[in-house]
Structure 1
Amino acid sequence: MNFHAIRAIYKFEMARTWRTLLQSIIAPVISTSLYFVVFGAAIGSRIAQVDGVSYGAFIVPGLVMLSLLTQSISNASFGIYFPKFTGTIYELLSAPVSYREIVISYVGAAASKSILLGLIILATAGLFVPLHIEHPLWMILFLLLTAITFSLFGFIIGIWADNFEKLQLVPLLIITPLTFLGGSFYSIKMLPPVWHTISLFNPVVYLISGFRWSFYGTADVNITISLAMTVMFLAVFLAIVAWIFKTGYRLKS
């Protein structure tokens, strides 16, 4: 394992965060604060509690997960797309660096940035509502698994995309709607039976449910199922990345 190469790529990607601090950190934190003002004040005044948790506190895991998913995909997709766009990807592929080291570097940096942002948003949420994390180790586990899994997904999108518009296509048209419909701001138990069943086909439901359980011990889906689904997503994305480097899909042309 070429740890020097991993460290070099990782440090380069992390340095980009500080160069784009306004876009990478400050903007998502401001957006989250606005969610608390709008949803916490406007809707929270009409919904006292959900599953025994105050509405303002109930939406915290959903907001963190919303930012975590979108930022993981965005960071990883742009990180690998930019070398493709500039042509430096060929220098990387011809260097004595294996595809595993490339994936570890880019995905590790994207996941690190997303986790950092998630923790900042969590701290920001503590300024608005009293937070209680019932299972901190499970919270950290879901945070890590989700960040790594969707950074891998973003890496795949970055390889697939051949223009900047496609980089935003999946996050804006698929991930964000699925997150909003996945119980970020409500419990799917509140839905009519038909819509409750349909919601269970939304993969984001399992991520948000497991993450919320780590906070309050309450969930829409059994914690074991949530964890199993998260690990399954991770395995699928790992298999796709391995196939991409084995076949050279959109890398050698």
Structure 2
Amino acid sequence: MNWPAIRAIYLFEMARTGRTLMQSIIAPVISTSLYFVVFGSAIGGRITEIDGVSYGAFIVPGLIMLSLLTQSVANASFGIYFPKFTGTIYEVMSAPISYFEITFSYVGAAATKSIILGLIILATAVFFVPLRIDHPLWMLLFLVLTAFTFSLFGFIIGIWADNFEKLQLVPMLIITPLAFLGGSFYAVKMLPPFWQTVTLLNPVVYLISGFRWSFYGIADVSVAVSLTMTLAFLGLCLVIAAWIFKSGYRLKA
């Protein structure tokens, strides 16, 4: 492993967070805090509890996942797209660093940013709702796995996109709607039977369900299924990333 090269790319990407602090950290935290206030007060007044958990506390894992998914994809996709746009990616690819190390550097930096953001939102939630974490190690596991999985997914999107419009297409039209419809604000069992079946086709349901279980011990689907689905999506993204570098898809001039 070429650790100096990995460290250089990683630190460069992390330094970009400091230059875009408002966009990367402050704005997502403020918008999520508004969700706590608006949804916790407006809907929480009508839905007092779900499975013994106050509604305000119930939506915390879903809101953290919503921010984690969108920011992981956005950070990683922009991180690799901008070197493509400026042409500096060819300098990186010609350096004595493997494709795995390039991917590991960019994805690792994007995942680190998302994990930091998720922990900040979690700390912020304490000021708005009564919060507990029954399984802290499982919570961290789901947080890290989701951050790395969707950062890798964003990395793939960044390579696929050939303009800034495409860069925003998947996060805005696919990731965010799936997160909203994945049980962020409700339990799947609250839906009619037909829509419960449809909802289970949404892969984000399994991420949010497993993450919520780590907080309160309640889940829409089995924790084992949630973990398996997360690892399966991670494996799929690894296969696609490996094919991209092997074939040179949208990387070779």
**Shorter-normalised TM-score: what interval?**
over 0.9
Match of 1:128 in 2: 128
Deviation at 1:247, TM superposition (A): 0.2
Match of 1:206 in 2: 206
TM-score (norm 1): 0.99
Deviation at 1:79, TM superposition (A): 0.2
Q: Does 1:86 align with 2:86?
A: yes
**Can you list the C-alpha shifts for 1:63-118, whole angstroms capped at 9, x where unaligned?**
00000000000000000000000000110110101001101100000000000000
Deviation at 1:130, TM superposition (A): 1.4
Indicate the SS of the match to 1:184: coil
Indicate the SS of the match to 2:227: helix
Deviation at 1:37, TM superposition (A): 1.1
State how 1:69-218 maps to structure 2 within 5 Å: 69-218=69-218
Deviation at 1:51, TM superposition (A): 1.2
Give the 4+ runs in structure 1 shifted more than 4 A. Answer: none
Aligned residues: 253
Residue type of the alignment partner of 1:10:
Y
**Can you list the C-alpha shifts for 1:165-193, whole angstroms capped at 9, x where unaligned?**
11110000000000000000000110000
Match of 1:65 in 2: 65
Residue type of the alignment partner of 1:168:
Q
**Can you list the C-alpha shifts for 1:226-248, whole angstroms capped at 9, x where unaligned?**
00000000000000000000000
**Can you list the C-alpha shifts for 1:43-65, whole angstroms capped at 9, x where unaligned?**
00111101110000000000000
TM-score (norm 2): 0.99
Root-mean-square deviation (CA), in Å? 0.4
Match of 1:2 in 2: 2
Distance 2:229 2:32 in 1: 26
Match of 2:251 in 1: 251
State how 1:31-42 maps to structure 2 within 5 Å: 31-42=31-42
Residue type of the alignment partner of 1:88:
T
**Can you list the C-alpha shifts for 1:176-217, whole angstroms capped at 9, x where unaligned?**
000000000000110000000000000000000000000000
Deviation at 1:152, TM superposition (A): 0.3
Q: Percent same amino acid at aligned positions? A: 79
Distance 2:141 2:233 in 1: 15
